[in-house]
Amino acid sequence: SWQVPPLPDGGRAGIALAARCGPAECAVAGRVDGRLALWRFVGDRWERVAGVPEIPLGEREPVAAPLIVSGGALHIAADGLCSVTYRYHSLNLSDRPVHRAPRDLWFQHSRGKLDLVALREGTTRIALQRMHTADNVAKFACQFSPPIRPGETASFGYRCSGAEFRGDWYWRQQFVRHTRAYTLNVRHEGLKDVGGITATEELPDGTETLAQETISWDYDGDDLIMTFVRDHLEPDQYATLRWEHV
């Protein structure tokens, strides 16, 4: 269980209003001097999150708990045909409602036109607005109803199928906005002899570092299953998981 001590940088009048905690992490949303404030537990101490927009917050306005995890699931069949499922848990830290979220997907190969399906994960309804599609590319926007108001959260997702892997086994994810945590789950059917698994993280300045410590993998029958986790990601970062067949 978590016990939250007095939080740092509380200004003249600060109060914690909502929290969301997991087994090893915790985040708190509240109000400091009439503005939205966020804190997170890092290592062995609490710190206030920098860069939060100046969103006015009245004494009687509700605040949603910060969301911690977002990510995707990649399923590759034995013949290379794949589907990828994205699930997002988003907190609107801007000062205006969010009506849509642009997204794009690119694959080296596909079997015809990519198929996109919206997934309703919570109370927010989602529609997919296609802006450009080709056999291996999809540019679209997730439209929300109702929109995500400042300080509120929403869960949404989508699934893309029809892409194909032909021997170059890797997944590269770009992050276009601040992401508290990212989890990628991969199931590769029929790959019972893996030759090696490598994970890297590329920082906004182009520096690349190994990220082996956050990979876990195993076999489920004849299938290879992998989990790759990263956290505290910034815009223009990349995370790549690559594996080889013996």
**Residue 69 in tokens:** 């995890």
The pLDDT tens digits of the residues spanning 34-77 come to: 888 888 776 677 888 765 656 777 777 766 555 444 678 999 99
Cα(158)–Cα(87) distance, integer angstroms: 7
Angle (nearest 5°) at CA 15 between 7 and 147: 110
The pLDDT tens digits of the residues spanning 210-228 come to: 999 989 999 998 899 999 9
Please measure the distance between the N-terminal and C-terminal CA atoms of the chain and give it in whole angstroms: 44
The pLDDT tens digits of the residues spanning 160-188 come to: 999 999 888 999 999 888 887 889 999 99
Query: pTM of the predicted model, to two decimals?
Result: 0.72
Cα(226)–Cα(75) distance, integer angstroms: 11
**Residue 135 in tokens:** 């056999």
Mean pLDDT of the chain: 85
Angle (nearest 5°) at CA 156 between 155 and 161: 150
Q: Which residues contact 5 (CB under 8 A, 6 or more apart)?
A: 46
